[in-house]
Amino acid sequence: MIKLKNKDTGAELGTLSEEQLQFLIEQLEEENAGDHDYWFDGAQIGWLQEQGAEAALIELLEQALGDAEEMEVVWERV
């Protein structure tokens, strides 16, 4: 299982499938192989949708962002 968390608060946001995680890794910039965090805002989520992200992944990210303008998330395997 892959958990997605708010990097600032540690709050769990949901779980990712292997396919969803691979999509994020392929689409988003990682500073190094151990980098497990990503920054999002509404425009970034829209861009991911344009790139073919699954509807469930977009929904998870939109719910995580909520009313915030931006958010940094981190993933971990458990």
Q: Which of 29, 36, 77, 39 lies closest to 61, judged by CA?
A: 39
Return the pLDDT at 28: 87
Neighbouring C-beta atoms of residue 60, cutoff 10 Å: 20
Q: pLDDT for 22-72, tens place per residue?
A: 999 999 876 666 778 999 999 999 999 999 999 999 999 999 999 999 999
> For residue 46, what are the domain limits?
2-77
Domain count, the chain: 1
